[in-house]
Amino acid sequence: MSMGRSGMTRYTLGLPVVLIGVLALTTEDFREPQNLLNFSGQIAALLIASLGQLFVTLVAGIDLSVGSVLSIAACIVATNPDPTLAVALALAMGIAVGIVNGLGVAVAGVHPLVMTLSTATILQGLAYVVLPIPGGNIAPTLTWMATSVVAGVPLSLLWCVAAALLAAWIINYTRIGSHLFAVGSNSRSAYLNGVKVKSVVVFAYVSCSVAAAVAGIYIASRISAGDPTLGAAFGLESVAAVALGGVQLTGGIGSVLGVISGALSLGLLANGLNLFGISPFMREVLTGCLLLAAVSVQRRSNVGL
């Protein structure tokens, strides 16, 4: 993939490197093995959800229901003691939500912001129906898969690697991946060249919702509980991660490596705030500022201004 198509720049790749250097030099706790272990566990859900957001952004869409899908998936897992059934139900929910969002955008012509915000509101209410208060019981198998360390490697890292490799394979080495870029660059041209534009858009939204459901399964397993508000911040943060990774919000430009870089930057920022004892609420402030900055430096012709 060319640098132009990926959207990556030296700033995209340099930001997490700079943050690592600053944190390593300013606080010894950052270099502690336990902190590095915690960091990999904290970033996994954001990375998985952001990789899903990448699919939607490539077709010039946006999915604000990511956080609600994550929340209800966590609630489903927390209220079903059978791990197989819990995972199956959560993934089925993700597929169903993705289909609804995709059809609403591609077929009904509803604006992605309106469509996914409506879905997010509905799902958030359903999350409280499934699990009114934080709690529930997570199957021990799922908890082990999210928190254990095998041969010195945290399994949370394997979740990240598996999600990144799958996303990279789909985007870079499959026909549907090429179609995602084509639709995002120019949907009319893609249609005239035989691309089933509506099907591609539906696929993108299904991929995003399934990724959010997987993130919900992971984070609920990691904390051994469900919470109807668990995904509240992930809608904004997943968009911020893709924007920081050089993904153009108007479609056609982006990469998995860029999203990894963006998610790492946000994760390092949160980790640094925690290590310095700064209020965690500042994370939302800084995330919003970074999103605004990332979009502002995109070429105006690309952001529709």
| pLDDT score of 4 | 65
Q: Is the pLDDT of residue 33 over 90?
A: no
Return all residues near 226 (Cβ < 8 A) that are at least 6 apart.
74, 75, 76, 77, 78, 79, 131, 134, 135, 136, 138, 220
pLDDT tier for residue 305 given thresholds of 50, 70 and 90: very low
E strands along the chain, which residues?
149-150, 153-154
| pLDDT score of 79 | 94
Look up residue 18 and give its two tokens. 């700079």
pLDDT tier for residue 303 given thresholds of 50, 70 and 90: very low
- Cβ atoms of 70 and 216 within 8 Å: the answer is yes
Phi, psi of 135 (to 5 degrees): 150, -140
Q: Is the pLDDT of residue 39 over 90?
A: no
Give the percent of the chain with pLDDT over 70: 96
Report the DSSP beta bridge partners of residue 150. 153
User: Would you list the domain boundaries of the chain?
Assistant: 42-232
Segments in 131-255 forming alpha helices (H): 140-147, 155-173, 175-185, 187-192, 197-223, 234-244
Query: Tell me: the pLDDT tens digits for 185-224?
Result: 999 999 999 999 999 999 999 999 999 999 999 999 999 9
| pLDDT score of 301 | 47
| pLDDT score of 213 | 97
In angstroms, the CA 167 to CA 38 distance is: 24
Query: Tell me: the pLDDT tens digits for 44-76?
Result: 999 999 999 999 999 999 999 999 999 999 999
Q: What is the mean pLDDT of residues 244-267?
A: 93
| pLDDT score of 299 | 59
Q: What is the mean pLDDT of residues 76-87?
A: 94
| pLDDT score of 151 | 83
Query: Tell me: the pLDDT tens digits for 164-191?
Result: 999 999 999 999 999 999 999 999 999 9
Count of residues in the chain: 305
Query: Tell me: the pLDDT tens digits for 126-139?
Result: 999 999 999 989 99
Q: What is the mean pLDDT of residues 282-303?
A: 75
| pLDDT score of 120 | 97
Return all residues near 31 (Cβ < 8 A) that are at least 6 apart.
24
| pLDDT score of 300 | 47
Whole-angstrom CA distances from 80 to 3, 94, 137, 229 are 45, 16, 8, 18
Q: Is the pLDDT of residue 297 over 80?
A: no
Look up residue 123 and give its two tokens. 């799902």
- Residue recorded with tokens 């968009």: 239
- By mean pLDDT, which of 32-36, 92-96, 189-193, 259-263 is the weakest? 32-36
